[in-house]
Amino acid sequence: MTGPDPEEHARRLAAESLSADDPTGWFERLYAEAEQGEAVVPWDRGAPHRMLVEWARAAGLDGHGRTALVIGSGLGEDAEFFSGLGFRTVAFDVSATAVRAARRRFPDSTVRYLTADLLDTPDDWEKVFDLVVESLTVQALPRSVRLEAVARVAGTVGPGGTLIVVAAARDKRDDPDQGPPWPLTRAEVESFATGDLRPVRIEAVRDAQQPGVRRWRAQFHRDRPRH
Ligand SMILES: C[S@@+](CC[C@H](N)C(=O)[O-])C[C@H]1O[C@@H](n2cnc3c(N)ncnc32)[C@H](O)[C@@H]1O
């Protein structure tokens, strides 16, 4: 497809959606346009996120007998990666078109792909997953809903469970109100830790391809209650 820069186009759709007081409607529009060959999904890497893969390999992660929730799963690459490590994986996205596209991309998948809104997650996801993967979704939502989004993500981590977060890091030059994305400050990353969900490691990693860009990779753990 030749046409506008994919990131510019996504930002234009987002601006239209936000001006109609709809923080998430533009994702469906973008994925639907991409289905028609009229747009490119800028974050479609055709592979799981490198920072998640590195983390999982370094940790020797084995998901057999464990559950995972992948938030804002897009076209399914991260969900398939964690499923491949043995996790019984649920993956959801606010865009029904993205969910259909992920199922089509991975027809033999055992991942349960669902359409759902992070800002309105089902009650039966509260504190149940052994691994929760949040990569680039909170940063794709405006700061007006950040507290809610962070709390919803954190709330799905079960006792003994792990949360891994990947997000763009806010730079001094960034205008906090100009997005998407709306990169996160260190304090915002730390705010995933509430109650018995505690930080294990928070790293600011330089992007090998874009040396000026830093991303957060943050791991949290929820202790099991003591009896
Ligand atoms: C920047 S993309 C990242 C996609 C994927 N996590 C990745 O790293 O490739 C953000 C994704 O989150 C989804 N999303 C945005 N807001 C959401 C919400 N409120 N609930 C669920 N998914 C959401 C979008 O549709 C999109 O697929």
Enter the pTM of the model: 0.96
Q: Could you tell me the residue range of the domain that residue 33 belongs to?
A: 1-42
In a domain, 227, yes or no: no
Same domain, 152 and 72: yes
Q: Are residues 14 and 87 in the same domain?
A: no
Q: 3-class DSSP state for residue 22?
A: coil
Q: What is the mean pLDDT of residues 120-145?
A: 96
Residue 208 has pLDDT above 80, yes or no: no
CATH, residue 167:
3.40.50.150
How confident is the model at residue 2, as a pLDDT?
53
Of the residues 137, 139, 152, which should be mutated to test ligand 1's pocket, given the most ligand atoms within 8 Å of the CB?
137
Residue identified by tokens 């919803």 is: 152
Same domain, 5 and 91: no
Report the separation in Å between the CA atom of 81 and the middle of ligand 1, taken as the mean of its atom positions. 17
Q: How confident is the model at residue 4 (pLDDT cuts 50, 70, 90)?
A: confident
Residues 185-197 have a mean pLDDT of 95
Residue scoring higher pLDDT (213 or 118): 118
Q: What is the pLDDT of residue 51?
A: 95
Same domain, 132 and 21: no
Q: Does 127 lie in the same domain as 24?
A: no
Mode of pairing for the β-strands spanning 214-222 and 157-168: antiparallel
Tell me the one-letter amino acid at 218. A
Q: Output the residue whose Cα is nearest ligand 1's atom 9.
A: 43
Q: Which residues of 22-42 are buried (b: 16+ CB within 10 A; e: fewer)?
A: ebbbbbbbbbbbbeeeebbbb
Q: Quote the DSSP letter at residue 172.
A: T
> pLDDT at residue 3 above 80?
no
